[in-house]
Amino acid sequence: MTIPRNIIDEITKLRLEISTHDDLYYIKNDPGITDLEYDMLMKRLIEIETLYPELLSPDSPSQRVGGKISKEFNNVRHKQVMLSLSNTYVREELLDFDRRVEQLTGSEDYKYVAELKIDGVAISLHYKEGLFSLGVTRGDGQQGDDITANLRTVRSIPLKAKLFEGIPEEFEVRGEVYIEKTAFLEMNKYQEEKGGKIFVNPRNAAAGTLKLQDSGMVAKRPLTMFAYSLIYPETANNKLSSHWKGLELLDRMGFRVNPIRNIYDSIEDVIAFCNEWNGKRDTLHYEIDGAVIKVDSINQQEKLGATAKSPRWAVAFKFSAEQVETKLESVNWQVGRTGAVTPVANLTPVFLAGSTVSRATLHNVDEIERKNLHLGDMVIIEKGGDIIPKIVEVVLEKREINAEKITPPVGCP
């Protein structure tokens, strides 16, 4: 069947229009049309593609809607291993890192790029002639799962990258897929209403979603992504000289790159960046668990090399666990399957590290004694190992004079 000229014109126009609005909405955060107008465009596009399936193409915005079911994911070997970062926790460890970099780079000057460490899921994206061709999970670092169908539904991942002078025909982009804090709360609320799985935190929700075997379901979840590294193949004609330039190129190619980043000459400035964001993490729409510090020059990165697990040219600076203050309202005595009685604190609900917390574990009666807890106390809580919140300490200054001690039940509850 020959396809009428006007249909070809219409589909070309529709695709361009939809990708422009995708870019405005998902990358630039500045919507150009209403949701309804957008839906109408998409509906018409899918209508034409259903009528003329020969017009379907992998970079059509209609591919964002998903629908592909995969029995299992294929295993894919990474062209370049996906290393993880070694962690630092205190200033002194960053100074040690800097001393090692200084020693190993010899007498050369070097710069650091400081970024936020997004608490999500690492992914690798491959592009051929500008088209998104393969998306892989980190897996064990050597090989991961082919989750291309799922990643196509993530609107902030360009199906077609903008190409220009100097960009090789094939390249790889690495980044973090994550869910914003408010989107996560809404998503869990929706899950609760329909009796679906409730997720512990945004990272867990992003990881669980990427493993779904139905990309149509993935399309309905609010995944987004920040790109944090551009990789050229060894066979490319030109070489990327600096990580910072790579981030700028990614931005120009239409990827979402976190604007919170900086390039510094000295480790002291890097430390100031870390301290600043450790204090301001609450102000972000997404969760971070630290900062990442990378030597900027790719030549120097290669010179520094890597150990079996992590590169010597980069390091993570992990922030301390988030803490908030709330009120201890009452204590429940829970009887477990083995008959052991565990006290559980009921708290005034507060938002902490990705979810609303209204209960905390108290372990046992000794713990209540040790922490000197009274009913109505203001307490500091944090998430232990990310999941179950625990009470760190009591804010004694705020205790009411006649506060009641917590007493265990006399008989078995």
Interface residues with ligand IVH (CB under 6 A) are 83-85, 115, 117-118, 122, 176, 228, 292, 311, 314, 316
Per DSSP bridges, beta strands 112-118 and 261-264 are: antiparallel
Q: How far is the CB of 34 from ligand IVH (least distance, A)?
A: 33
Q: Which of 13, 28, 79, 117 is catalytic?
A: 117
Question: Within a 13 Å sphere around the CA of 222, how many CA atoms are in the beta-carbon half?
Answer: 15
Q: How far is the CB of 85 from ligand IVH (least distance, A)?
A: 4
Q: For the purposes of burial, counting CB atoms within 10 Å of the CB of 29, is it exposed (0-12), middle (13-18) or buried (19 or more)?
A: exposed
Element (H, E) at 133: strand 131-137
* Closest to ligand IVH by CB, 132 or 313: 313
List, as one string, the DSSP characters of 138-170: -TTSSEEEB-HHHHHT-TTS-SB----TT--SE
* Closest to ligand IVH by CB, 233 or 408: 233
Is 309 an active-site residue? no
User: CA separation (Å) from 335 to 35, 209, 319, 347?
Assistant: 50, 34, 36, 19
Q: How far is the CB of 232 from ligand IVH (least distance, A)?
A: 16
Distance between terminal CA atoms of the chain? 76
Q: How far is the CB of 267 from ligand IVH (least distance, A)?
A: 18
Interatomic CA distance for residues 229 and 237, integer angstroms: 19
* Active centre residues (catalytic): 117
